[in-house]
């Protein structure tokens, strides 16, 4: 069996449908949607996290209790009913798992494990859960105060109170206990300190209450990136793994859950170790890991998973529809609007430096302190100063070109990890004073787990801790510095600035897509493919609309220049150039035939994007006056007659390009190697920006009505219905021919095409060619319809039939115009000759999962 396929008797999804559970979509709601999802062709539900989350959570990644299924979405009984109903239809259930962190909720008692640690410190039965040393210092830092502790005490804002704490009352659930109250925040009081004077009492706790700004400089627990309300847990500890996964594994072995999606494994101390433990505990369940790969990076081959969650495929499919000829004109326009001459590499470096100096300074300081302690304890290393070590850590982390290297204490660093670390060190060395080079060499040796200094100290606990902590910090700096800062500053073509994307790659050709598909089919045949996720910066259709700018760069530049001039009187004098360029492209991505995006949604997005830029306003120090000016300008644009007229013409101009991009991207995503995921609502066109905008409720009932109408033979009306028809066709073909898409024998072969403006391939099962896919790309090109594609010979007594048009096709060279008909894409199935000649069903039903 292929090493990256699920184990014996374990289910492999053929396709998944992502549901964002919450108050607006409960297990009951999901159960009611099953007939529609079944009709759409979906084989497996893919649920957002289901465990009990913090009060008011809208996403579920802030888990507070691993022993309960969320009450808000229906509890365990609701999940079991949903799973039973899905299984009765032959559908599976995949659940999102959050192993890296837990919420620090308000009040804190919602997280019973955390409450126990805050109350009892090292004596708590949960003392080893959180990634913090409770035996040193002042306990766990709780940076929740709106002012410095002295000011808060003097103002009487922190008081001793007595309340009933649910789940912490012993045998009497109504027992009141002393707590420290700061507005909505409640914290436990360490036993036998209740009668101390308040200031002394505060200082005697197992935690330190502090001003919120202290967090970035002195936070002493690992967190999710720079989010202090998500505290890292030590899932590498077998007891912690067992406790936090007992319910999920019980549901799995009870047949309720069939597979798992793992959130942010790069935050873990030992991703491979965690995934191996999960693999063993499930007997090889289908597992997709949210690993964000750089362009030249491969998923570690020793991870026992099916693959990634699909960002590596998503950016390539979008780039396939980005015309490289648009790069130079759009670069000129970017420089004109922003007034700056810079490169993406420079923007990334500046952003990462800002992050390590601000929101992640505490993490950098911790790494430096660990190194300084190692050097202090070894006489051979004592001349490496704290300042020198810190300079080297900063430069090495800033230069790191991917989320992390994978080094396990006690094991020799893999060659790939050594290469990545040394490449970063070469860049860091060029930025450091020569006097620091010896220290840099030492840091490299230590983070790679090599022997350094005195002999025999390689296996010391502190050195092992450094090997673990360094890559965790690298990942946080990469996420916050690149995706959440630089990608909001770089506005060449903002649709390329996506999670796991490669914005300096302006366009990807068919050959490169085929090579990526070949590698995937060979090594990770059951990985996930995605178009949109809850983490993408923009939905797939917004990316397609922005990408159309590259196919019409001169017309776009003319439009922007005209509208800038027409609205000059409205534009704030202090409007940031990067923000303005982002605004114009956002209008291009969200203005449809129905008009512009709602003003409140556009405003919310622009404020968030500007704060993520961290240039002229930030989350921690918002410039509300300039933000209001930006929002006012953007809102005025939506109603300005020149802007309205200009974008009406623009939407009409790019309509063919957008249609081609939307339908081709979707069909390819659903048919290239891997398990195809459909994010809720993306079976039709829609406008979705960064979260929480992309988690808005979807009217699944209305979609079911539309699909039913299409299934009766009604011609799709508009692009949204065309996308639904393509999605249903592809998902149903997958379900009818699972062996061609997932599993041991699923094959992928490129089809010869006589134009670079189209891409084609065939999916094969053990018997031979089964499904052929052709998609056009980029703008209109004279002669495209006269181009040819060569279809392979199907099996004897079989013929090719177009699922979208119903027409039959012969093997050999065929004109694209004959295959496509009125569509920009073609999906053909090899069927028995009599069925193909009869036209076959327009939308295949039935089939099973592999």
| 292 close to 499: Cβ distance less than 8 angstroms | yes
Beta-strand runs (E) in 44-157: 44-47, 51-53, 63-69, 92-97, 101-103, 140-145
Q: What is the tens place of the pLDDT at every residue in 374-405?
A: 999 999 999 999 999 999 999 999 999 999 99
The single-letter DSSP state of residue 793 is P
Peptide bond connecting 692 to the previous residue in cis, omega within 30 degrees of 0: yes
- Bridge partners of residue 186, in order along the sequence: 181
* Count of CB atoms situated within 10 Å of the CB of 731: 25
95 with 243, same domain? yes
790 with 803, same domain? yes
| Residues ≥6 apart with Cβ < 8 Å to 227 | none
356 with 483, same domain? yes
Give the containing element (helix H, strand E) for 279.
helix 271-282
264: closest CA among 131, 105, 407, 101? 101
Q: Hey, what are 849's tokens?
A: 């999962």
Give domain status of residue 95, yes or no: yes
Q: Hey, what are 430's tokens?
A: 């060029």
479 with 415, same domain? yes
| 480 close to 441: Cβ distance less than 8 angstroms | no
306: closest CA among 351, 266, 275? 275
d(CA 812, CA 790): 5
What is the percentage of the chain residues whose pLDDT exceeds 70? 97
- Bridge partners of residue 763, in order along the sequence: 748, 771
d(CA 64, CA 248): 15
Q: What is the mean pLDDT of the chain?
A: 95
Peptide bond connecting 14 to the previous residue in cis, omega within 30 degrees of 0: no
Give domain status of residue 466, yes or no: yes
Of 168-177, 252-261, 580-589, 595-604, least confident by mean pLDDT is 168-177
| 31 close to 19: Cβ distance less than 8 angstroms | no
CATH number of 136's domain: 3.30.1590.10
Give the containing element (helix H, strand E) for 86.
helix 75-88
Of 9-13, 225-229, 575-579, least confident by mean pLDDT is 225-229
d(CA 750, CA 536): 29
Give domain status of residue 367, yes or no: yes
- Bridge partners of residue 15, in order along the sequence: 676
Sign of CA dihedral 321, 327, 333, 337: positive
204 with 81, same domain? no
Give domain status of residue 589, yes or no: no
d(CA 848, CA 113): 43
Choosing from 488, 511, 528, the residue where a domain stops is 488
- The confidence score (pLDDT) of residue 135 equals 76
- Mean pLDDT along residues 436-447: 98
Alpha-helical (H) ranges within 131-270 are: 149-154, 198-203, 215-218, 238-253
d(CA 213, CA 151): 14
Give domain status of residue 784, yes or no: yes
* Count of CB atoms situated within 10 Å of the CB of 529: 27
Q: Categorize the per-residue pLDDT at 295 as very low, low, confident or very high, splitting at 50, 70 and 90.
A: very high
Q: Categorize the per-residue pLDDT at 665 as very low, low, confident or very high, splitting at 50, 70 and 90.
A: very high
Q: Categorize the per-residue pLDDT at 57 as very low, low, confident or very high, splitting at 50, 70 and 90.
A: very high
d(CA 484, CA 535): 11
Give the containing element (helix H, strand E) for 758.
strand 758-765
d(CA 360, CA 353): 10
CATH number of 246's domain: 3.20.20.80
Which residue do the tokens 């998973």 mark? 305
Choosing from 175, 208, 232, the residue where a domain stops is 232
Question: Which of the two residues, 132 and 442, has the higher pLDDT score?
Answer: 442
Range of the domain at 290: 15-100+235-309
CATH number of 765's domain: 2.60.40.1180
- The confidence score (pLDDT) of residue 2 equals 67
Q: What is the tens place of the pLDDT at every residue in 731-744?
A: 999 999 999 999 89
- Mean pLDDT along residues 696-719: 96
- The confidence score (pLDDT) of residue 838 equals 57
Pairing of strands 675-679, 747-750: unpaired
Helix (H, G, I), strand (E, B) or coil at 714: coil
218 with 156, same domain? yes
| 350 close to 343: Cβ distance less than 8 angstroms | no
The single-letter DSSP state of residue 89 is T
Choosing from 289, 309, 329, the residue where a domain stops is 309
In this structure, the dihedral spanned by the alpha carbons of residues 217, 221, 222 and 226, taken in order and rounded to 10 degrees, is -40
216 with 133, same domain? yes
d(CA 366, CA 385): 15
Q: Categorize the per-residue pLDDT at 171 as very low, low, confident or very high, splitting at 50, 70 and 90.
A: very low
20: closest CA among 61, 59, 62, 68? 59
Q: What is the tens place of the pLDDT at every residue in 679-706?
A: 999 999 999 999 999 999 999 999 999 9
267 with 139, same domain? no
| 200 close to 128: Cβ distance less than 8 angstroms | no
| 704 close to 39: Cβ distance less than 8 angstroms | yes
Q: Categorize the per-residue pLDDT at 848 as very low, low, confident or very high, splitting at 50, 70 and 90.
A: very low
Pairing of strands 758-765, 158-164: unpaired
* Count of CB atoms situated within 10 Å of the CB of 730: 28
d(CA 261, CA 62): 16
Q: What is the DSSP string of 359-388?
A: TTHHHHHHHHHHHHHHHHTSGGGTTS-HHH
Q: Categorize the per-residue pLDDT at 836 as very low, low, confident or very high, splitting at 50, 70 and 90.
A: low
Give the containing element (helix H, strand E) for 763.
strand 758-765
Q: What is the tens place of the pLDDT at every residue in 615-648?
A: 999 999 999 999 999 999 999 999 999 999 999 9
| 528 close to 654: Cβ distance less than 8 angstroms | no
Q: What is the DSSP string of 510-552?
A: HHHHHHHHHHHHHH-TT-EE-S--TT-SB-HHHHHHHHHHHHS
The yes-or-no verdict on residue 846 having pLDDT over 50 is no
- The confidence score (pLDDT) of residue 170 equals 52
The pTM score is 0.95
Give domain status of residue 569, yes or no: no
- The confidence score (pLDDT) of residue 210 equals 95
d(CA 306, CA 313): 15
- The confidence score (pLDDT) of residue 714 equals 95
Q: What is the tens place of the pLDDT at every residue in 331-383?
A: 999 999 999 899 999 999 999 999 999 999 999 999 999 999 999 999 999 99
419 with 451, same domain? yes
- The confidence score (pLDDT) of residue 785 equals 75
* Count of CB atoms situated within 10 Å of the CB of 387: 12
113 with 240, same domain? no
Give domain status of residue 56, yes or no: yes
718: left (phi over 0), alpha (psi -120 to 50) or beta: left
Q: Cα 55 from chain centroid? A: 23
- Mean pLDDT along residues 541-570: 98
253 with 222, same domain? no
CA-angle at 301, arms to 299 and 303, nearest 5°:
85
| 240 close to 129: Cβ distance less than 8 angstroms | yes
d(CA 473, CA 610): 25
| Residues ≥6 apart with Cβ < 8 Å to 215 | 141, 143, 228, 362
| Count of structural domains, the chain | 4
239 with 95, same domain? yes
Give domain status of residue 680, yes or no: no
d(CA 732, CA 841): 11
């Amino acid at each position: 069996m292929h090493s990256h396929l699920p184990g014996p008797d374990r289910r492999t999804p053929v396709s998944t449908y992502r549901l964002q559970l919450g108050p607006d979509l409960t297990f009951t709601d999901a159960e009611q949607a099953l007939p529609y999802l079944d009709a759409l062709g979906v084989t497996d539900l893919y649920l957002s996290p289901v465990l009990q989350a913090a009060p008011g959570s809208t996403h579920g990644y802030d888990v507070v209790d691993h022993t309960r299924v969320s009450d808000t979405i229906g509890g365990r009984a609701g999940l079991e009913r949903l799973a039973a109903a899905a299984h009765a239809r032959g559908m599976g259930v995949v659940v999102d798992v959050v192993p890296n962190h837990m919420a620090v909720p308000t009040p804190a008692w919602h997280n019973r494990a955390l409450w126990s640690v805050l109350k009892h410190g090292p004596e708590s039965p949960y003392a080893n859960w959180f990634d913090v040393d409770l035996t040193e210092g002042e306990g766990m830092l709780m940076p929740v105060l709106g002012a410095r502790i002295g000011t808060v005490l003097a103002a009487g804002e922190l008081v001793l109170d007595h309340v009933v704490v649910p789940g912490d009352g012993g045998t009497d659930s109504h027992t009141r206990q002393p707590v420290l109250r700061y507005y909505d925040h409640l914290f436990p009081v360490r036993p036998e300190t209740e009668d101390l004077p308040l200031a002394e009492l505060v200082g005697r706790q197992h935690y330190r209450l502090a001003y919120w700004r202290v967090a970035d400089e002195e936070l002493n627990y690992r967190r999710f990136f720079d989010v202090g309300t998500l505290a890292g847990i030590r899932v590498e500890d077998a007891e912690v793994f067992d406790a936090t996964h007992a319910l999920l594994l019980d549901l799995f072995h009870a047949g309720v859950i069939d597979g798992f999606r793992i959130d942010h494994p790069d935050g873990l101390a030992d991703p491979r170790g965690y995934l191996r433990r999960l693999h063993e505990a499930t007997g090889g369940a289908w597992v997709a890991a949210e690993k964000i790969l750089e362009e030249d990076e491969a998923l570690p081959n020793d991870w026992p998973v099916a693959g990634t969650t699909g960002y590596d495929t998503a950016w390539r499919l979008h780039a396939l529809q980005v015309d490289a000829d648009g790069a130079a004109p759009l670069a000129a326009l970017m420089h004109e609007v922003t007034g700056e001459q810079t490169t993406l590499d420079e923007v990334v470096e500046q952003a990462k430096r800002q992050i390590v100096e601000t929101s992640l300074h505490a993490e950098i300081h911790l790494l430096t302190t660990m190194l300084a302690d190692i050097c202090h304890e070894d006489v051979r290393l004592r001349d490496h100063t704290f300042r020198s070590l810190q300079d080297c850590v900063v430069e090495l982390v800033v230069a790191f070109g991917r989320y992390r290297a994978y080094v396990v204490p006690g094991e020799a660093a893999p060659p790939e990890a050594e290469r990545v670390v040394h490449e970063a060190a070469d860049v860091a060395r060029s930025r450091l004073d020569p006097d620091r080079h010896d220290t840099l060499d030492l840091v490299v040796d230590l983070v790679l787990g090599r022997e350094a200094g005195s002999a025999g100290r390689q296996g010391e606990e502190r050195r092992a801790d450094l090997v673990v902590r360094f890559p965790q910090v690298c990942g946080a700096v990469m996420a916050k510095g690149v995706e959440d800062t630089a990608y909001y500053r770089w506005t060449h073509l903002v649709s390329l600035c996506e999670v796991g994307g490669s914005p300096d790659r302006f366009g990807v050709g068919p050959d490169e897509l085929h090579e990526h598909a070949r590698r995937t089919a060979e090594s990770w045949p059951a990985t996930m493919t995605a178009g949109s996720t809850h983490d993408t910066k923009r939905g797939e259709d917004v990316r397609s609309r922005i990408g159309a700018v590259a196919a019409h760069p001169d017309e776009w530049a003319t439009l922007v220049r005209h509208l800038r001039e027409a609205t000059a009187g409205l534009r704030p004098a202090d409007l940031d150039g990067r923000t303005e360029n982002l605004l114009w492209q956002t209008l291009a991505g969200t203005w449809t035939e129905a008009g512009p995006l709602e003003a409140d949604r556009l405003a919310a997005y622009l404020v968030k994007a500007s704060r993520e830029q961290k240039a002229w306003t930030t989350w921690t120090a918002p410039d509300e006056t300039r933000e209001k000016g930006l929002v006012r300008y953007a809102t005025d644009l939506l109603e300005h007659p020149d802007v309205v007229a200009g974008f009406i013409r623009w939407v009409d101009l790019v309509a063919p390009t957008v249609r081609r991009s939307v339908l081709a991207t979707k069909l390819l995503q659903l048919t290239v190697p891997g398990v195809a995921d459909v994010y809720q609502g993306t079976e039709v066109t829609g406008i979705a920006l960064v979260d929480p905008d992309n988690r808005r409720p979807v009217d699944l009932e209305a979609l079911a009505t539309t699909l039913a109408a299409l299934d009766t033979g009604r011609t799709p009306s508009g692009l949204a219905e065309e996308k639904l028809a393509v999605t249903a066709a592809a998902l149903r073909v997958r379900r009818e021919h699972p062996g061609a898409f997932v599993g041991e024998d699923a094959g992928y072969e490129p089809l010869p095409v006589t134009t670079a403006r189209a891409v084609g391939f065939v999916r094969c099962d053990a018997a031979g060619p089964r499904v052929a896919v052709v998609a056009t790309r980029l703008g209109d090109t004279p002669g495209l319809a006269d181009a040819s594609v060569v279809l392979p010979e199907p099996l004897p007594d079989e013929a090719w039939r177009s699922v979208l048009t119903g027409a039959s096709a012969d093997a050999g060279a065929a004109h694209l115009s004959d295959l496509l008909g009125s569509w920009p894409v073609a999906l053909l199935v090899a069927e028995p000759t009599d069925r193909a000649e009869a036209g076959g069903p327009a939308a295949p039903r039935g089939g099973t999962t592999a």
